[in-house]
Copies of this chain bind each other. A is one copy, B any other.
Amino acid sequence: MGLRERKKEKTRLAIIDAALDLFLEQGYESTTVEQIAGVVDVSPRTFFRYFTSKDHLALWFHDHGEEIILETLADRPQDEPPFTALMHALRAVLTDVECSTGEDAERFLKLRRLLDANPHLIGRSVARGAQTERRLAEVIAARRGADPDKDQLTHLIVAFAMSTMRVGFECPRRDGTVAEIAARMAESIDLAERSLRPGWDL
């Protein structure tokens, strides 16, 4: 990896860290891009070259999570029931969170605190989730040999899966270690699996 790419990654993380701290300190809305850029010593214009928007910065975690889900899904056997495959993908995200160490874990916890404090950001977060949902619907539809524009069950399977993930992440709204949060997410996955009728997703 060249110097250029290392520098970019360093700037990217510096922006994230500066922004996260400012957000938690003085609120999301009342923190301006100019301020964030000022702390990192970068022009506001450059900020928008790293993140397409303030929202994108606050939700950078989704990009990573979506990647993991899509990769895991591609590796699952094609004849596995769709919802089961999705739950495996969710567990993969979970594992990734659990294994994150040091600065990454800290960022994760800060992000969680940020979302807890800003209901408005939860909205943006689920909006980002809707994007993931559309992509997942394509994949699941292909697995089921269905037309994603017509098959309601495909969309219901994906929506239920994303709901499970979201509930696990958002609830309960209390601080804890990464391990504790991961345990909660695992709990919600179990809960969802127990709630659904066997074979409902075939």
Contact = CB atoms under 8 A, between A and B. Distances in A.
Interface of A: 119, 122-124, 126-131, 134, 149-153, 155-156, 159-160, 162-164, 166-168, 170-174, 184, 187-188, 191-192, 194-197, 200-201
How many copies of this chain does one complex carry?
A: 2
Contact of A200 (B119, B149, B152, B194): B194
B156 A191 contact: yes
Contacts of A128: 123
Secondary structure call for the A interface: helix
Contact of A153 (B152, B159, B191): B191
Nearest to A133: B126
Contacts of A172: 149-150, 152
A53 B151 CA distance: 34
Contacts of A166: 159
Contacts of A173: 149
Contacts of A162: 163
Contacts of A200: 194-196
A80 to B, nearest CB: 18
7 contacts: A119-B134, A152-B167, A152-B171, A156-B192, A156-B195, A159-B163, A159-B164
A176 B200 CA distance: 28
Among A124, A134, A156, the most chain B Cβ lie within 10 Å of the Cβ of A156
A195 B159 CA distance: 13
Contacts of A171: 149-152, 155
A85 B128 CA distance: 29
Contact of A156 (B122, B126, B156, B163): B163
A168 to B, nearest CB: 7
A156 B194 CA distance: 12
Given A123-B127, A159-B163, A163-B163, A152 B184 contact: yes
Sorted nearest first, the 4 A-B pairs with minimum C-beta distance are: A123-B127, A159-B163, A195-B200, A127-B127
